[in-house]
Amino acid sequence: MTIRNYDEWKTKLPEDTRKVVGDCAHCLDEILEGSEVWYSQEHDITVCSVGCLVRLTSKFDVDIDEFENIEMGAE
């Protein structure tokens, strides 16, 4: 599939104005406000994806069941 006038279409995309609210404990990517993340309150660890969660828990002595799925910046 080809998008006609791709360059013009891309310039019309809305700007992402979400604030950075943290960093992933595994890959160090920025976590934006409203992003779905996995958080362990016991260890105060936040990761940005299921992949980072699996890799982090396999490297360190952290139980994957201690993490809950939350939305960052949710009041």
Kindly report, residue by residue over 23-51, the tens digit of the pLDDT.
999 999 999 999 999 999 999 999 999 99
Asked if residues 27 and 52 have their Cβ atoms less than 8 Å apart, the reply is: yes
Q: Count Cα atoms within 13 angstroms, Cβ side, for 45.
A: 20
Q: Which of 9, 8, 32, 36 lies closest to 22, judged by CA?
A: 32
Domain residue ranges of the chain, discontinuous segments joined by +:
18-71
Tokens representing residue 12 in the block: 């019309």
Is this structure's pTM higher than 0.75? no
Q: What is the pLDDT of residue 2?
A: 76
Using DSSP's 3-state secondary structure scheme, residue 40 falls into strand
